């Protein structure tokens, strides 16, 4: 019984970390730009395809490719902000539709380039660690450790750097932040780039674990949405809390019943939380 519980917690935390990575970028972009990034799943997908190409086909070093993919997706995101999304700052509805347009175009482009088939890349690490009855796959452990590292660096950046402070200020109140010399023209592409980079890391790290295909971004985006609703939109600690809650609940019900039932139950939990607290666990009422 204790073994089972430990196993459930370990599995749950393993998924939590990836959910947090996705939700953090999504919530950062929303908090700063008030844009619902419907292309977030496609940024994940693009990073996976970069891994498929550079690691799977060309055989470059996997860890190098992860960093390359995440940074490229980050720069790509900053570019998207500059060219396509900047005109829609402050117009939530049209900004959202523009993000949808980007999402559709990227999916279709991936389909044209790579076809509808599911691709896979070899796992850079394989095998399991066995501690009594508890089994931890090594590749998931590696993903977990790298994700924790990324989250740690992200935390330090947001907490102690000037740009991080500026971003947190914009999340709270853009007008007052700009009075203090925080320039939206710098902060917006930075936030979008950073958020995209986090999605890129998630996509690149999960590429060897799941299959790679043009519509793969849907599931992680759905998870990010659920996490963000749970934790409160625009709240960074909320994304972390929401990710842990979702990962653990899913793990419990996936182990006891099935994965699809687990996803359906996570929807039920959203409804329950909303009935009690409409703005999510750590959310503030919207302006």
Which residue, 158 or 229, is less far from another protein as judged by CB? Answer: 229
Q: Binding of another protein at residue 229 (CB under 8 A)?
A: yes
Q: How far is the CB of 106 from another protein (least distance, A)?
A: 8
What's CA 50's distance to the chain center, in Å?
Answer: 17
| Residue 163: count of CB within 10 angstroms of its CB | 15
List 57, 105, 126, 211, residue binding another protein (CB under 8 A) = 105
CA–CA–CA angle 47, 34, 154 (5° rounding): 50
Long-range contacts of 139-148 (CB under 8 A, 24+ apart): 139/208, 139/209, 140/14, 140/209, 141/14, 143/14, 143/17, 143/18, 143/205, 143/206, 143/209, 144/13, 144/14, 144/17, 146/66, 146/205, 147/17, 147/18, 147/20, 147/21, 147/201, 147/205, 148/17
What's CA 170's distance to the chain center, in Å?
Answer: 21
Q: Binding of another protein at residue 21 (CB under 8 A)?
A: no
- Could you tell me which stretch among 89-97, 178-186, 188-196, 245-253 binds another protein (CB under 8 A)? 89-97
- Could you tell me which stretch among 4-12, 84-92, 193-201, 236-244 binds another protein (CB under 8 A)? 84-92
Q: Binding of another protein at residue 46 (CB under 8 A)?
A: no
Q: Binding of another protein at residue 109 (CB under 8 A)?
A: yes
Task: Give dist(CA 286, CA 283) in Å, integer.
Answer: 9
Cα–Cα distances in Å, from 218 out to 40, 223, 260? 9, 9, 15
- Could you tell me which stretch among 93-101, 198-206, 235-243, 248-256 binds another protein (CB under 8 A)? 93-101
- Could you tell me which stretch among 63-71, 128-136, 166-174, 272-280 binds another protein (CB under 8 A)? 272-280
Q: Binding of another protein at residue 133 (CB under 8 A)?
A: no
Q: Binding of another protein at residue 257 (CB under 8 A)?
A: no
236-256 vs 259-276: helix crossing angle, rounded to 10: 140
Q: How far is the CB of 279 from another protein (least distance, A)?
A: 6
Q: Binding of another protein at residue 225 (CB under 8 A)?
A: yes
Task: Give dist(CA 39, CA 98) in Å, integer.
Answer: 9
Q: Binding of another protein at residue 88 (CB under 8 A)?
A: yes
Q: How far is the CB of 281 from another protein (least distance, A)?
A: 13
Q: How far is the CB of 38 from another protein (least distance, A)?
A: 9
> Do residues 272 and 260 touch, judged by C-beta distance below 8 A?
no
Which spans of this chain sit near another protein (rule: CB under 8 A)? 30, 36, 84, 87-88, 92-94, 96-98, 100-109, 111-112, 116, 218, 222, 225-226, 228-229, 233, 260-261, 263-264, 267, 270-271, 274-275, 278-279, 285-286
């Amino acid at each position: 019984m204790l073994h089972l519980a430990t196993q459930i917690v370990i599995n749950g935390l393993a998924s939590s970390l990836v959910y947090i990575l996705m939700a953090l970028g999504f919530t950062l972009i929303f908090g700063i730009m008030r844009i619902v990034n419907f292309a977030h799943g496609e940024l994940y997908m693009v990073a996976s395809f970069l891994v498929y190409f550079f690691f799977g086909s060309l055989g470059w070093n996997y860890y190098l490719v992860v960093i390359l993919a995440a940074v490229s997706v980050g720069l790509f995101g900053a570019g998207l902000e500059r060219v396509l999304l900047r005109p829609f700052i402050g117009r939530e509805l049209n900004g959202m539709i523009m993000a949808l347009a980007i999402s559709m175009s990227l999916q279709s482009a991936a389909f044209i380039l790579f076809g509808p088939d599911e691709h896979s890349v070899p796992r850079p690490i394989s095998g399991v660690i066995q501690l009594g009855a508890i089994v931890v796959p090594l590749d998931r452990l590696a993903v977990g450790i790298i994700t924790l590292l990324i989250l740690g660096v992200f935390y330090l950046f947001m907490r102690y750097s000037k740009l991080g402070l500026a971003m947190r200020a914009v999340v709270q109140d853009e007008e007052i932040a700009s009075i203090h010399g925080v320039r939206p023209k710098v902060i917006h592409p930075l936030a979008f780039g950073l958020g995209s980079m986090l999605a890129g890391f998630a996509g690149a790290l999960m590429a060897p674990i799941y299959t790679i295909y043009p519509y793969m971004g849907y599931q992680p985006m759905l998870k990010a949405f659920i996490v963000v609703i749970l934790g409160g939109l625009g709240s960074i600690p909320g994304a972390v809390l929401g990710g842990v809650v979702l990962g653990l609940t899913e793990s419990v019900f996936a182990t006891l019943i099935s994965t699809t039932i687990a996803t359906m139950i996570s929807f039920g939990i959203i409804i329950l939380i909303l009935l009690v607290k409409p703005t999510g666990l750590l959310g503030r009422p919207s302006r």
